[in-house]
Amino acid sequence: MKRVLILVLVFVVVSCAPIRVNYDYDKGTNFTKYKTYNYYSDMKTGLSELDTKRLLEALDAKLETLGILFSETPDFFIDIKSSTFQSAQRNTVGVGLGGGGRNMGGGISIGLPIGQSSANRQITIDFVDENKKQLFWQAVSESNYNPNSIPKDREAQLNAVVEKILSQYPPKQ
């Protein structure tokens, strides 16, 4: 019971970190016809092998709750790409020096950075109809990323990302 409570607490803390998601989709798509999926066999996620496995397991579980099942003969394929980057520091302290006199003036100002820049991860998930050879839904998420986090935290973060990404699928038209 204690482990479950700790896992829930970790999930809540991780899910409080902002996960921003942008969605796009083809307005002419009938989303009710997509009931089965599979992943591209040559997919290069940009994640480690273990993180890829965690992400796919989270996607499988969430899609199953939506009534969409994994199949060898799918209605659509899923492609995943990711990248990591350092965000710019936004916190600075300004130090200024100025002077002036009747008709003369001057000043010097500098900004000193506070803290460290943070690592972010962007994950793009594409749903592609191979019969029509076209993308019909896409989600691009961006969230904080700690490359040194423990496996349990990584799993919780990826679960939170998947939950947020698929919260808007299928789109309300």
Per-residue pLDDT at 36 = 96
Say if CB 74 and CB 83 are below 8 A apart: no
Per-residue pLDDT at 40 = 93
pLDDT in tens, the chain (173 residues): 655 545 444 444 444 558 899 999 999 999 999 999 999 999 999 999 999 999 999 999 999 999 999 999 999 999 999 988 776 555 665 555 555 556 655 556 666 565 555 788 999 999 999 888 899 999 999 998 888 889 999 999 999 999 999 998 988 86
Please give the C-alpha separations between residue 6 and each of 10, 63, 120, 159, in angstroms, as whole numbers.
6, 26, 25, 16
- Partner residues linked to 23 by β-bridges: 139
Say if CB 22 and CB 140 are below 8 A apart: yes
65-69 contacts: CB < 8 A, separation 24 or more?
A: 66/166, 66/169, 67/35, 68/34, 68/35, 68/36, 68/37, 69/35, 69/36, 69/37
In one-letter notation, the amino acid at residue 68 is: I
Say if CB 79 and CB 43 are below 8 A apart: yes
Task: Read off the pTM.
Answer: 0.72
- Partner residues linked to 135 by β-bridges: 128
Q: Which domains does the chain have, with CATH numbers?
A: 17-29+36-86+118-173 (3.30.160.670)
DSSP 60: H
